[in-house]
Amino acid sequence: GAGVSQTPSNKVTEKGKYVELRCDPISGHTALYWYRQSLGQGPEFLIYFQGTGAADDSGLPNDRFFAVRPEGSVSTLKIQRTERGDSAMYLCASSLGTGEETQYFGPGTRLLVL
């Protein structure tokens, strides 16, 4: 079946602008995760949803970052007043949500803030 999809694949924006990144998880997966990966580093956790609710948002770096998952499927990561330091690959993953199971990653959105 279809894997995790993310759109757009690339996003270029200017400092101070608002951006939205979308994630469509694997069908039937109730758990959804956002990570951020800088070049040469491992992914860093941002936020985790179980269903519609954010079960753990401890990784969000500041209040410019926000994520929603209103119907328990698609999720949107929103970044306000973007800064150059926000430039990174943003990865979404999903899992069944029933226990300590495998997370399946999408191809990511590469964000560049000029």
Partner 1 sequence: GQSLEQPSEVTAVEGAIVQINCTYQTSGFYGLSWYQQHDGGAPTFLSYNALDGLEETGRFSSFLSRSDSYGYLLLQELQMKDSASYFCAVTGDTGRRALTFGSGTRLQVQP
Strand pairing partners for 90?
36, 109
Pick the closer one to partner 1 by CB: 91 or 113.
Answer: 91
The structure tokens listed for 24 are 């469509």
| Cβ contacts of 42 within 8 Å, gap of 6 or more | none
> 109-113 and 104-105: which strand pairing?
unpaired
Residue span 81-100 as binding mask against partner 1, x where in contact by CB under 8 A, dash where not: ----------x---x----x
Residue 101: how many other CB atoms lie within 10 Å: 11
Candidates 12-20, 28-36, 65-73, 80-88: pick the segment binding partner 1 (CB under 8 A).
28-36
Name residues contacting partner 1, limited to 54-83 (CB under 8 A).
55-56, 58-59
Pick the closer one to partner 1 by CB: 42 or 70.
Answer: 42
* DSSP 3-state of 43: coil
Told to check if 43 binds partner 1 by CB under 8 A, we report: yes
Told to check if 25 binds partner 1 by CB under 8 A, we report: no
* DSSP 3-state of 33: strand
The binding site for partner 1 (CB under 8 A) comprises 4, 31, 33, 35, 40-45, 48, 55-56, 58-59, 91, 95, 100, 102-108
